[in-house]
A and B are shown apart, each in its own frame.
Chain A
Amino acid sequence: MTSEATATVETALAARAVDVTKVYGKGETAVRAVDGISVGFASQHLTAVMGPSGSGKSTLLHCLAGLDRITSGEIWIGDIALSGLSERQLTLLRRKHIGFVFQAYNLLPTLTAAENIDLPLSIAGRKPDQAWYDRVIDAVGLRARLRHRPAEMSGGEQQRVAGARALVGKPTVIFADEPTGNLDSRSSAELLGFMRRSVDEFGQTIVMVTHDPNAAAFADRVIFLADGRIVDEMIEPTAERVLDRMKSVGA
């Protein structure tokens, strides 16, 4: 593989926002949750989005993931522009190109861990790639728990199942919304380590919203939001530097 080809892969954007605005409400009460953001998320990178409460970081994530419609601008997932898509096309896009890890309530209580992991593929009527599936399961370290139901697992295990579920369909990009928000520090570290490996070893792309500097430290790059705008970014972050920057941003 030539160095040029490697460069192309590295700079290819898995997801991209171009001058995106999201306004809630109308007139006097209108709130510009996202206010003219343009940002690209490189493939095979773990990007953290940070900012104080109300900075618009979750809204940006929801818009990027096609869960929420934007007011103006354009969003691209790979080379697909979201603005022209119907509700059904968006659903199919999520199915194929997007993986999710939410803060809580990530799993269906009636399904076992294995069934939960299979869920997006089953919905799409696809079969998992067995070799890939095995790699993911081993990476997440849950092989022994596959037959258990969510109620029988710890919060950390549940989030790892959610992570495996996001990974198993080989999406273009995985969006994680405060994935460690409900976890203790050890479980958080386990989950983040798994996410890091997904990027490094499996070549996945992850965009993660968090307000935990320790979580952000696992990222390749951190984007800081305030009042719906990007105010700063940091490459190769450490927890201390993130914390300092957060203080200056006014979190």
Chain B
Amino acid sequence: MSQVVTRRKLITSGLAGAAGVAGLAVAARIANTYGLIPPGRGGIWGIGETLTYASQRILMSHHSLAREFSPSETSRFVPVNGPAPKTDPYQRHLFTNFKDWRLIVDGLVARPASFSLAELKRMPASTQITHQACEQGWSFIAQWSGVPLSYVLNLVGISTRARYVVFWPFDDFWNSLDLPDAFHPQTLLAYNLNGNDLSADHGAPLRARVARQLGYKSVKYLTRITVVDDIRKVGDGTGSRTPSAGFSWYAGI
């Protein structure tokens, strides 16, 4: 009697296993089609990164807002992780107080453009008091002001093929956002920290502020923003400088 049950169970579990493998393959294709596989490294860590990114993009609202705080809750000290570039173009701009600096916006856009700091400051501004955590574990609360990235992207008109927005800084730590985070209402091109123009160490003249991700996604010293459809064609193809340093592309955790 028990043998019959065993054989039947063996056949069913064999079929279930085959269906599982086929299901996984189909799921991988669907995930790829709907942009649920993050850029960056594949390999063994790709499993966890993909599970995190896909589940958050599926289960969570694309525009859920990070918590905002009252002015009394701002941190007295805003640490600096890595000093400003010592290289020539940046130091020259710093010396002339970014008079000739322009932010280039190009790629898959209808009207490629470049904006001076004064032009950016004349655009509709947004101010937030938000918490920013470093992957190392420390954090601070600060007030940021800047122009929403979505405003600039709408100004230049991105293509329907666009999938990622790439930040190019003066230093090596380039990074990129998918469209849900690029068009998130709290994602700023920030030029003001706690009421003052950004200091050199905090990313002058302009830095990204990405409220729902760890600090390393808030790229400092911006010089150019490129809209692309396929992140694998950009740089080393991993979507940011961080994977080669050991950090995942998606940092919403």
Our verdict on whether A and B bind, yes or no, reads no
* A residues adjacent to B (C-beta < 8 A): none
* B residues adjacent to A (C-beta < 8 A): none
